[in-house]
Each structure stands twice: as C-alpha cells, then as structure tokens.
C-alpha cells in the first residue's frame, strides 16, 4: 500500500506529465484545432474523424488554447473602440453602441466629427431592412450620415423635423432625405418648412399643408430613425441658435441640458419647456418612443453631458459616438435601469 507521501508524489508527476505534450499529441491537437477554428467543423464531426469522444475533442481544444498552440485575436478596424462600445451598451442598456476614435486635438473642431456620420451610415446599412420606413431628423450628424450612405435596402424615407433654415434646405435635411431615398431606391417624403415658427398658430397651419401632412402621416410607420443631439449652448444646439436671448434665458432657467429634434431635456432626461414644441415642425416625443430603433449620432466633450441626458430619456435605443464622449458617459453617475431598451419615460417614474 502506498503512503500518503508516495500518492502526493505520484499526483505531482501526473500533473507534470499532463502539462507536457508529446509529438503525437501536439500533431493531433493542431489538426483538431485546424478543423474546429479554420474549417468550421463541429466537435462531433472531429470526434468521428479521429475516433475519439467529443469530450476528448473539447479537452484537446482547451489544452491547445492553454498551451498557446492556438491564439485567438479579435480585430476590429482601428477607428472602432470595441471595448468602450460594449461597456457603453451595457451601462445604458442600449441595443447598439458604436464608439469611434476621436479626432486629434485641433484636427476637427466641429461638434460632431464627420467620421461619426460615416460609421452611422454603415450601421444604418445593417439595421434597415427591405420595406422599412426610415426617419431622418435635422442635424449636422444626420446630414453627414446621409452623404456617406452607399447602401440601403429598398425603403421609404421620411423627414422627421423641419429645417434649420428653409433657405438652405437643399443643403440640409431635405437633401439628406433625398440622398437616402436615392441610395435605397425608395420614396422620399421631405418637409419644406422651418423647424421653428413664430407662434403655435403658424406651426399648426403649416402642419395641415398637404405635403407636410403627408410626411406626418408616415411618422407612426417609421421603423428606424436617426437623430442628432445638442447641448444648450451656441453652435451646439440648433434650437438654441434660433431663439432670442430672452427665450434662451427662459428655457435655461427650466434646467434644460440637452435638445433633440426640438425637444428639451433636463440632466435627468425629463422633458422641459414643452410649450416650445407647439411652435415646431417635428416628430412628437411619444411617437419617437414608439419607433422600434432610434439611433442618436453625437460626440465630443461639449456634447457628452447632453448625450447622457437624452439617453436617460428612454427615447433612443442606439448610439454612435466618439471616445471623448464615451469616457464621460462611462464615468458619470449610473443612468438607472436600462432606459433605452425599456423605453422608460422618466416623467412617469
């Protein structure tokens, strides 16, 4: 009978031998790994070929990884930050989060670098399916996105907001809608009207005009929407720039921290200054919340807090942003339980 000391030594020896692989084992492990990782064969198929159990195949593949016979590398294009993207998606309960590299300091001073639009165009090519209704809100980022589109399944494209300046419609959201429809081969439903009107009566009259009313009829049919986000400061929010100094001060006193499609939000994602919507040509917040996929495109440090506020609103499901904004969003206070996927309205909580 072996002593406990002899049993211990035997165990150590067995462990050491398990760590060493002879030439036959190495060749077999390499062959199995090639079948599994490169040729796409199942463990059952490999087991049948080599005359062993699938559990043996699983152990060999595991050992191959442990002994560095197989090295798995996950590569994404350099401009995409997979780690931050996944962390941001999980933190805010987003369906999709794509974080791109921020421009070098001083290289791009615009609030939303054009590379956001380019990546968003590729994302849209993944999300839109044939027969969808795509909604585009006014914004520099959505205009960049539309310009970068090179593929879209056949779909209808509708404008979700009026334009910043009716005189520049051809270079703005109207042209973005036309561009997307041209790429997809679908119908275009633009809105030839300013986003902000002098008073509610004028806005109501415009909404009843035939072309605008036809576009509004599609709002409840939109399946994928693209929106921009602005913080409440000059040059970063379209609505801010359209208002008078007195009006800006009034809404600032209500705690507005962000703007999206002419809807204002405080830092907690609650809507404020709802009276402004009565003067605007835009998709209503309740309709936005019912759209299955709402992609926000916004980045930069100056917009970071505003992006967080809109994410808390539960109105968007996906985000394309950059590292500068992502770093802020990943360190700020927790957003609450999955606002994007749950489409929770903080005003009702």
List pLDDT tens digits, range 187-203.
999 999 888 999 999 99
Centre a 10 Å sphere on the Cβ of residue 76 and count the other Cβ atoms it contains.
Answer: 10
pLDDT of the residue at 68: 80
Residue-wise pLDDT tens digits, 281-307: 999 999 999 999 999 999 988 899 999
d(CA 8, CA 187): 77
**C-alpha separations of 24 from 20, 27, 31, 92, 116 in Å:** 12, 5, 11, 50, 52
Nearest Cα neighbor of 190 from 221, 210, 211 is: 211
Cα radius of gyration rounded to whole Å, the chain: 27
pLDDT of the residue at 65: 85
**45 half-sphere exposure, CB direction, 13 A CA radius:** 11
Length of the chain: 349
Collapse the DSSP code of 126 into the 3-class scheme (helix H, G, I; strand E, B; otherwise coil) and give the result.
helix
Q: Give the list of residues 6+ apart from residue 50 with CB closer than 8 angstroms, or none.
A: 28, 31, 32, 57
Q: Which stretch of DSSP H or E encloses residue 147?
A: helix 140-148
pLDDT of the residue at 336: 67
pLDDT of the residue at 164: 73
pLDDT of the residue at 169: 41
Residue-wise pLDDT tens digits, 44-90: 999 998 889 999 999 999 888 888 888 776 555 557 888 899 999 98
Q: Alpha helices, DSSP H only, in 188-342?
A: 200-207, 210-217, 238-242, 245-253, 285-290, 304-313, 323-331, 339-342
pLDDT of the residue at 335: 66
d(CA 191, CA 166): 10
Nearest Cα neighbor of 297 from 319, 281, 279, 314 is: 319
- End-to-end Cα distance, the chain: 72
Name the pairing type of β-strands 188-189 and 133-136. unpaired
pLDDT lower than 50: segments of the chain? 1-18, 106-108, 166-170
Strand partners, 272: 264
Q: Give the list of residues 6+ apart from residue 333 with CB closer than 8 angstroms, or none.
A: none
Whether the Cβ atoms of residue 193 and residue 153 lie closer than 8 Å to each other: no
């Amino acid at each position: 009978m072996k002593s406990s000391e002899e049993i211990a030594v035997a165990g150590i020896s067995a462990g050491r031998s398990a760590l060493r692989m002879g030439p036959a084992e190495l060749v077999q492990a390499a062959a199995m790994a090639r079948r599994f990782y490169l040729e796409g064969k199942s463990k059952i198929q490999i087991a049948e070929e080599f005359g062993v159990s699938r559990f043996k195949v699983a152990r060999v593949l595991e050992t191959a990884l442990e002994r560095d016979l197989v090295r798995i590398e996950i590569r994404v294009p350099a401009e995409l930050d997979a780690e931050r993207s996944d962390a941001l998606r999980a933190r805010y309960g987003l369906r999709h989060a794509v974080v791109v590299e921020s421009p070098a300091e001083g290289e791009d001073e615009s609030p939303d670098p054009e590379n956001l639009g380019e990546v968003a165009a590729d994302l849209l090519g993944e999300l839109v399916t044939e027969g969808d209704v795509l909604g585009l809100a006014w914004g520099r980022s959505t205009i960049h996105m539309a310009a970068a589109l090179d593929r879209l399944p056949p779909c209808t494209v509708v404008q979700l907001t009026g334009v910043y300046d009716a005189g520049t419609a051809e270079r703005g959201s109207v042209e973005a809608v036309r561009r997307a429809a041209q790429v997809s081969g679908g119908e275009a439903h633009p809105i030839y009207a300013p986003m902000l009107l002098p008073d509610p009566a004028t806005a109501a009259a415009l909404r009843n005009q035939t072309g605008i009313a036809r576009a509004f009829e599609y709002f409840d049919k939109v399946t994928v929407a693209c929106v921009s986000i602005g913080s409440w400061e000059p040059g970063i929010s379209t609505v801010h720039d359209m208002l008078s100094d007195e009006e800006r001060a009034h809404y600032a006193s209500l705690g507005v921290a962000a703007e999206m499609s002419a809807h204002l939000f405080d830092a907690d994602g609650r809507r404020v200054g709802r009276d402004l919507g009565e003067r605007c040509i835009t998709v209503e917040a309740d309709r936005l919340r019912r759209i299955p996929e709402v992609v926000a495109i916004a980045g930069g440090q100056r917009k970071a807090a505003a992006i967080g506020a809109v994410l808390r609103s539960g109105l968007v499901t996906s985000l394309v942003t950059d590292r500068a904004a992502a770093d802020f969003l990943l360190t700020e206070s927790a957003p609450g339980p999955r606002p994007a996927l749950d489409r929770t309205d903080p005003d009702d909580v």
